[in-house]
């Protein structure tokens, strides 16, 4: 695949977490390995186009032109559950999703869907481990503003937020160090199609940074916990109260015993940029076909069908 021109198409820049993780970090690693890669450039000469999750309206013209030009089209839907992406899902040659749940939701539109986690996203892989105090924890939350309402929904008290316009302003350069100032990070998530489609990226970051996390028991968080042997007591089920769970942690009724150093080694082996790029290459190569006659025929048909 090294002799093929690969172009990533995205409507976001490197400041957006998903774009940084699934476009820029992967693209930069591919370039370092000698692959012919660009982002939003040389689209006309591309052999493989990777469309990263974006609103249909924002990249509709580029997507349609790619279809009619007989490109091999990959749509990385990441962890976004949205009916607004159905056209991308239907007409792409390959769909990449961040979890099995999301894959299952879209199989009725496209049978060629592969699951690929996001890469580890920390500013410094060698950042020192912090010291935490769960007897009197400072509780934090970080993420996008669109998820901020979950703190209120679950009634979690005394939480300091790291987000755009939050108690602590989010910045790529400072967020890791700010997370490490807390003794406990809470990551609530709803068990709706949108919530169940979420990736493990925030839990992954938190554990790598050496901070205990109290999280909802959604499949992707459970899967990550099983990989690193994270305590099951640090999950909050639907019938449990977040504040009561926190009080049990503070009192010692829930004993937290976890090897963050071992965890970090496991996460590096599985989620660092090199192993994740290996998985990315395998994912694309397993679906890419040199003979695109069928795809060309499909593009001709879609010319009269796709709005």
Give the pLDDT confidence of 43-82 residue by residue, as tens digits.
888 999 999 876 556 667 777 777 767 789 999 998 888 8
Q: How many CA atoms lie within 13 A of 214 on its CB side?
A: 31
What per-residue confidence (pLDDT) applies to 291?
44
What per-residue confidence (pLDDT) applies to 289?
64
Instruction: List strands edge to edge, sheet with 168-169.
Output: 168-169, 159-163, 139-142, 184-187, 213-216, 235-236
What per-residue confidence (pLDDT) applies to 293?
47
Output the pTM of the full model.
0.89
Beta-carbon neighbour count of residue 256 at 10 Å? 14
What per-residue confidence (pLDDT) applies to 304?
45
Nearest to 34 by CA among 9, 74, 6, 10: 6
Which residues in the chain show pLDDT less than 50?
290-291, 293, 296, 300, 303-304
Type and span of the H or E element at 161: strand 159-163
Rounded CA separation 278/267 (Å): 15
Type and span of the H or E element at 139: strand 139-142
Write the DSSP string, 7-52: EEE-SS-TTSHHHIIIIIHHHHHHHHTT-EEEESS-GGG-SEEEEE
Nearest to 134 by CA among 206, 207, 179, 184: 184
Convert the pLDDT of each residue in 223-262 to its tens digit. Answer: 999 999 999 999 999 989 999 999 999 999 999 999 999 9
What per-residue confidence (pLDDT) applies to 306?
53
- For the CA atoms of the chain, what is the radius of gyration? 21
Rounded CA separation 302/8 (Å): 22
What per-residue confidence (pLDDT) applies to 61?
74
Q: How many CA atoms lie within 13 A of 236 on its CB side?
A: 24
What per-residue confidence (pLDDT) applies to 290?
47
Contact 221, 195 (CB under 8 A): no
């Amino acid at each position: 695949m090294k002799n093929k021109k690969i172009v990533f198409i995205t409507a976001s820049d490197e400041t957006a977490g998903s774009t940084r993780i699934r476009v820029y970090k992967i693209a930069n690693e591919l370039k370092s390995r000698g692959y012919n890669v660009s982002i939003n450039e040389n689209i006309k000469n591309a052999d493989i186009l990777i469309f990263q999750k974006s609103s249909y309206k924002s990249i509709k013209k580029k997507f349609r032109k790619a279809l009619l030009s007989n490109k091999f089209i990959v749509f990385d839907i990441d962890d976004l559950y949205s009916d607004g992406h159905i056209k991308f899902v239907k007409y792409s040659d390959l769909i990449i999703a961040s979890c099995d749940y999301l894959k299952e939701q879209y199989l009725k539109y496209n049978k060629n869907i592969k699951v690929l986690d996001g890469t580890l996203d920390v500013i410094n892989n060698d950042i020192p481990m912090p010291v935490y105090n769960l007897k009197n924890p400072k509780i934090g939350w970080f993420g996008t503003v669109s998820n901020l309402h979950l703190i209120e929904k679950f009634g979690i008290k005394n939480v300091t937020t790291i987000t755009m316009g939050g108690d602590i302003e989010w910045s790529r350069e400072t967020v890791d160090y700010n997370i490490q100032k807390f003794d406990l990070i809470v990551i609530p998530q709803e068990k709706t199609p949108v919530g169940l489609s979420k990736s493990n990226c925030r839990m992954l970051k938190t554990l790598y940074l050496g901070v205990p996390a109290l999280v909802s028991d959604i499949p992707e968080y459970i899967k990550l916990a099983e990989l690193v042997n994270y305590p099951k007591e640090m999950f909050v089920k639907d019938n449990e109260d977040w504040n009561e769970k926190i009080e049990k942690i503070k009192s010692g009724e829930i004993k937290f015993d976890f090897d963050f150093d071992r965890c970090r080694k496991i996460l590096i082996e599985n989620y660092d940029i090199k192993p994740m790029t290996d998985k990315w290459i395998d994912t694309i190569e397993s679906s890419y076909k040199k003979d695109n006659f069928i795809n060309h025929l499909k593009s001709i048909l879609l010319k009269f069908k796709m709005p």
